[in-house]
Structures are given as C-alpha cells and as structure tokens.
Chain A
Amino acid sequence: RKEVEQDPGPFNVPEGATVAFNCTYSNSASQSFFWYRQDCRKEPKLLMSVYSSGNEDGRFTAQLNRASQYISLLIRDSKLSDSATYLCVAYQGGKLIFGQGTELSVKP
C-alpha cells in the first residue's frame, strides 16, 4: 500500500464547476501536509499547505482530518487554467512523500 493515496482521476469538469480531491495517508507520524500542482511536462509547484483547522486561498480550500488520516482539496468556480495534476504530499522524517497525483481537466 502506498503511503499517500489519491483518487485516480482523471477528473473532467466544465468551467465553473466545483471539484473535490481526496487523499489518505497511512503513517500517523506524518507531520505536515501540502498540495502541489504540476502542469503537463512541468515541475511540481507548491499550491498550499494543509492545516487541521482548514485553510482557504481564494477559490481553493484544503482540509485535514488527522483522526481519519484524510486530506482534501476543494476548487470552486474552476477555470481552464486549473487544468493540471494535483499532488497530495505528506512530510515525514525529513522528507516529502508524494501521492500519485490526480489529473484535472477543465473544459469550456
């Protein structure tokens, strides 16, 4: 079993839709969590950190549930430019553990 698992995707949604990505992690010792975004044939870039209290950055909301070992990312009013792969990441033992990524395609 992978340490960080995500919805397989791909998600194909129309512009303006709300889309939610789910992620689970297996190691309860994981200290911190992040969402990274990776455009096609580009490098991963930090999208946002994830806090237990939930955090929002514009149209993006991230949530962490430590009891369930579950992380989510909600994108509201999706734009064409949101099309990318979203990587769920856990920080543990001094390193980042990446999920396999979920591909999002936003269509006009």
Chain B
Amino acid sequence: EAGVVQSPRYKIIEKKQPVAFWCNPISGHNTLYWYLQNLGQGPELLIRYENEEAVDDSQLPKDRFSAERLKGVDSTLKIQPAELGDSAVYLCASSLSAGLETQYFGPGTRLLVL
C-alpha cells in the first residue's frame, strides 16, 4: 500500500517568493495534517483536516500561510510571501479518522529560504 506522498521533496526559494507544497494521503484516510519541523525540534501541528473541513488551524500563521483540501483528498499548503524563518521541513500526515488513530507521515518537503 502506498504511503503518504509529498512533493516537492526539496525547495529552495528567495525570500518574499511564494511556495506551495502538495500532499496525497493514504487512500481512505479522512484526516490529514500539516506539520512544521524545525531543526532539532519535534513536529508542530499547523492545520488538521477532517475530510475537506479544516477543524484545527489555530497554529497556522494566517497572514502568510494558507491551506486547502479540495474534495477531501489531496491537500496543498502555501506560503506567500516566504520569510527566512520559514526554512524548515513541512510534513504531511494522514490517519483513518480523527482521535487516536495512528498518524502516518510523508517524507516531508525540505524548504530553504534564502
């Protein structure tokens, strides 16, 4: 069974440019998560979707970050404009449903903002 797919795997951009990340969750998984992981830190939740509804976006910096999950499957996370401090790994995860279902992580997108 295919795991969580993310693209691109690596992205280098200049500050103030926009960037977008794409995630395809495991088939049948209704809940999708976007996490941010800084070097030497654990992942931090940015947003959680249940189907197409964003049920927890309290940690998403809404001035520059946006996300969508059209049709309740694939999701994109966008940053516009990017800042130097946005350099990090952006991880997508999915689970069958919300609650204590195991979350499966994708390989992440490593972003470097110059």
Contact = CB atoms under 8 A, between A and B. Distances in A.
A89 B48 CA distance: 17
A32 B100 contact: yes
A95 B47 CA distance: 10
Contacts of A108: none
Contacts of B43: 44, 87, 96, 98
A43 B41 contact: no
B56 A94 contact: yes
A41 to B, nearest CB: 8
Given A94-B56, A96-B103, A43 B91 contact: yes
Contact of B48 (A32, A44, A95, A101): A95
A42 interface: yes
Contacts of A46: 102-103
B99 interface: yes
Contact of A42 (B42, B98, B107): B107
Interface in A14-50: 31-32, 42-46
A98 B42 contact: yes
Nearest to A88: B42
A80 to B, nearest CB: 23
Interface of B: 33, 40-45, 48, 55-56, 91, 98-100, 102-103, 105-108
22 contacts: A4-B42, A31-B100, A42-B107, A43-B106, A43-B107, A44-B105, A87-B43, A89-B42, A94-B48, A94-B56, A94-B99, A95-B33, A95-B45, A95-B48, A95-B56, A96-B43, A96-B45, A100-B40, A100-B41, A100-B42, A101-B41, A101-B42
